[in-house]
Amino acid sequence: MSREAAERLASLARVVTLLFCAVALPYVALFYESNSVRRVRPRKSGFVLGVEYLAHYSHEFPWLRRLRVGVICDNPATPELLHRCGFKVRAIFPFPGNFYPDVKVPPEYFDTWRDVKGAAYTDISSDWENAFEKCAHRVDVFIFDVKHTGLQYDFATVILKGLLKAAQACDRHVVVTDRPNPAGGKIEGVGEIPMRLGVTVGELAQYMNKYILDKSAKLTVIPMLGWKRSMINAGNSPELHGAMLTGFFLPMAHVHPFTSVMNLEASGVSIGFPQQQALSMWEIGYLCSFLDRNGLRCKGWEMDDVTGGKSRGVSFKTIRNPDQFPMFATFVRMMRFFANRRALNIEFDEKFDSVVGSPEIRKLLTDQASLKQLRDRAEIDSRIFLDKIKSCLMYAPKPKVRYLDAIVSVGV
């Protein structure tokens, strides 16, 4: 072989090698990356959360990795996880409590964020819409990763709506990483957004963006992998055991004896009566029996000192399968129970109607509307909500409307 032919052959070999590198190496890198993300195994319950999907399958979201990110989260590990996976975290908004927005999250709780260099910490416990707009110059996209209880009056609903409005006004993108709905797949209540949703936070975000906001924001929902709405019945996830019903007995309705100005302290774990004689022993026993029939297991009695006196109360816990719990009916019956006590008086906060979705409940409790009117209104509103949200559903099976035949009259 002549020297000239050898040089031509060597030149051809170099060209072939360069072509091979240009074509094959990306596939090799993709193979390595795909094998690395396979290390992410579904949890024992058999599904992957939206934020886990986003972080560990980040090669599927190259557009998002190029943008500056602001993270709204209730898990201190989320910003650091996204940072390690290549996302440019520039702002962090720690999420307040689900039902107590005035409780600020202590900065020391988020020590893991020290590794997220260049990220600004912003409190959103009060004026969240302005907080998002003021930080818009730092970020191109907001990532919303917050657990949602599946209840309309969850504070996450309010924050999510405010975030979508602020993002639309500032021309920013919103990404919602989806999570399970621990309250089950039933729709109950009145109003444009019923008290019990039956959908995930990602599906709710799409609904609000499409039907609640005057102008839609740029929205992307990162779905869960392997999750089905029926998994709430199987009870195969620690996150799905027992509906998170804290705040179920709303502080927006204050109950107190006519002879006292002390309010009834109510939460999802206990009910305390301001005076020992506010309710008779028979009435308290009836209340315990009523709670038990509705799936709230009584745990015992409580005696607490209240301003020098004694306060009698009952502790209870929620049922194992929240999907079977008639939540709205139980709420209405509980409020009617208090409304029918001669020794008690109910004062309604100005926010009561908006929190429960409609003035119909207050009208019922003040004898301005009948039980049938409330039942009919609830079924109509729930069906309208289901018809609208069908286009936003991402998981099977679709939620179901719970009929309110369980709402019956409560005696005096």
Instruction: Tell me, yes or no, whether 123 and 165 share the same domain.
Output: yes
Q: 3-class SS at 300?
A: strand
pLDDT at 1 over 70: no
Q: Which residue has the higher pLDDT, 275 or 112?
A: 112
Report how many domains make up the chain: 2
Among 203-207, 216-220, 229-233, where is mean pLDDT lowest? 229-233
What pLDDT is stored for residue 231 in this prediction?
79
**Cβ contact 177:382 at 8 Å:** no
Q: Which residue has the higher pLDDT, 390 or 22?
A: 390
CATH code where residue 97 lies: 3.40.50.12170
Average pLDDT score over residue span 350-363: 79
Residue 252 exposure: Cα atoms within 13 Å on the Cβ side:
18
Helix (DSSP H) and strand (DSSP E) numbers for the chain:
13, 14
Average pLDDT score over residue span 390-395: 96
Instruction: Tell me, yes or no, whether 172 and 264 share the same domain.
Output: no
Average pLDDT score over residue span 368-379: 87
Q: Is residue 248 part of a domain?
A: no
pLDDT at 355 over 90: no
Instruction: Tell me, yes or no, whether 231 and 260 share the same domain.
Output: no
Instruction: Tell me, yes or no, whether 281 and 354 share the same domain.
Output: yes
What pLDDT is stored for residue 160 in this prediction?
95
Give pTM, 2 decimals: 0.75
Instruction: Tell me, yes or no, whether 214 and 297 share the same domain.
Output: no
Instruction: Tell me, yes or no, whether 57 and 139 share the same domain.
Output: yes
Q: Is residue 394 part of a domain?
A: no
- The 10s digit of each residue's pLDDT in 50-97 is 999 999 898 899 999 999 999 999 888 899 899 999 999 999 998 875
User: Residue 181's pLDDT band (boundaries 50, 70, 90)?
Assistant: confident
pLDDT at 223 over 90: yes
Instruction: Tell me, yes or no, whether 85 and 207 share the same domain.
Output: yes
Q: Which residue has the higher pLDDT, 230 or 81?
A: 81
What pLDDT is stored for residue 269 in this prediction?
36
Q: Is residue 288 part of a domain?
A: yes
Q: Is residue 140 part of a domain?
A: yes
User: Residue 121's pLDDT band (boundaries 50, 70, 90)?
Assistant: confident
Which of 191, 209, 240 is the last residue in one of the domains?
Answer: 240
pLDDT at 408 over 70: no
Q: Which residue has the higher pLDDT, 38 or 399?
A: 399
pLDDT at 258 over 90: no
- DSSP class per residue in 290-337: HHHHTT-EEEEEEEEEETTEEEEEEEEE--S-GGG--HHHHHHHHHHH
The percent of residues in the chain predicted with pLDDT above 90, rounded, is: 29
pLDDT at 284 over 50: yes
Instruction: Tell me, yes or no, whether 62 and 211 share the same domain.
Output: yes
What pLDDT is stored for residue 242 in this prediction?
34
Q: Which residue has the higher pLDDT, 402 or 214?
A: 214
Quick one: how far is CA 362 from the chain centroid?
25
- Tell me which residue range forms the domain holding 302: 253-378
Please report the sign of the dihedral spanned by the C-alpha atoms of residue 242, residue 243, residue 246, residue 252.
negative
Instruction: Tell me, yes or no, whether 139 and 285 share the same domain.
Output: no
pLDDT at 292 over 90: no
Cα distance between residue 303 and residue 283, in whole Å: 17
Instruction: Tell me, yes or no, whether 159 and 94 share the same domain.
Output: yes
C-beta contacts of 281-285 below 8 A and 24+ residues apart:
283/341, 284/312, 284/314
Strand partners, 202: none
Mean per-residue pLDDT over the chain, rounded: 73
pLDDT at 301 over 60: no
- The 10s digit of each residue's pLDDT in 303-330 is 444 433 333 444 455 555 667 777 788 7
Which of 212, 240, 268 is the last residue in one of the domains?
Answer: 240
Q: Is residue 190 part of a domain?
A: yes
For the ranges 93-97, 120-124, 181-185, 194-198, the maximum mean pLDDT occurs at 194-198
pLDDT at 9 over 50: yes
Instruction: Tell me, yes or no, whether 235 and 299 share the same domain.
Output: no
Q: Is residue 389 part of a domain?
A: no
pLDDT at 385 over 70: yes
Q: Is residue 13 part of a domain?
A: no
Which of 213, 240, 267 is the last residue in one of the domains?
Answer: 240
Instruction: Tell me, yes or no, whether 236 and 257 share the same domain.
Output: no
DSSP code for 277: T
pLDDT at 116 over 90: no
